[in-house]
Amino acid sequence: MKLIIGLGNPGEQYALTWHNLGFIILDALRTAGIDEFGPFREHKKLSAAISQGINPEEKIILAKPQTFMNRSGIAVKALMSFYKVAPEDIWILHDEADIALGKIRIARNASSAGHKGIQSIIDELGSQSFVRFRLGIKQDPPSLLPTDEYVLQKIDAKSKVVVDGIAQEVLGAIEVALTRGITEAMNDFN
């Protein structure tokens, strides 16, 4: 079983912000045809909205924590416990302000590098051995806003084209990771 979690903030006001890139990519994954997924349904007990795939070879759960970014670990821990998965079978999709816009980096067993949502997950799980799909949002030229303000900015129409490209690349990386393993995905996409 794989638990694929996109990080973001709940609520319409955050829907198309950089910090919700994990949610945006999960929505693309749900409709991409890699697996057949139902609609996202909120599960209050798990503090997450969940969509379950029906792949007979490996069960895949997509989840969007509803705890706000900086408390993502609460939902991830509840999901891990409920579905009885090891940290290694948890894949986290999240924005990364230190990576150029449009680039992705796949990492496992890595520190948070200052990302508060990831740090929350590490703190709650007591482990950093999950897989991260780090989605670059760093602008060129750099944004003049502090990072905590920049990530809450709406994605403009020009950048939306780049986000669509990121989605396609991440979908390819996830497909490789599911079929050939995470190391192969890292070799192909990093």
How many CB atoms are located within 10 Å of the residue 73 CB? 22
Q: Any residues with CB less than 8 A from the CB of 148 and at least 6 apart, and which?
A: none
Q: Quick check: bond before 87 cis, omega within 30?
A: no
Active site (annotated) includes residue 19: yes
Whole-angstrom Cα distance, residue 64 to residue 187?
A: 27
> In angstroms, rounded to a whole number, what is the distance separating the alpha carbons of residues 82 and 67?
17
| Cα–Cα distance measured from residue 63 to residue 41, given in angstroms and rounded to the nearest whole number | 9
Q: d(Cα 153, Cα 156) in Å, to the nearest integer?
A: 9
Q: Which of 19, 43, 94, 115 is catalytic?
A: 19
Which of helix, strand or coil describes residue 20?
helix
3-state secondary structure 113-174: CCCHHHHHHHHHHCCCCCEEEEEEEECCCCCCCCHHHHCCCECCHHHHHHHHHHHHHHHHHH
Catalytic residues: 19
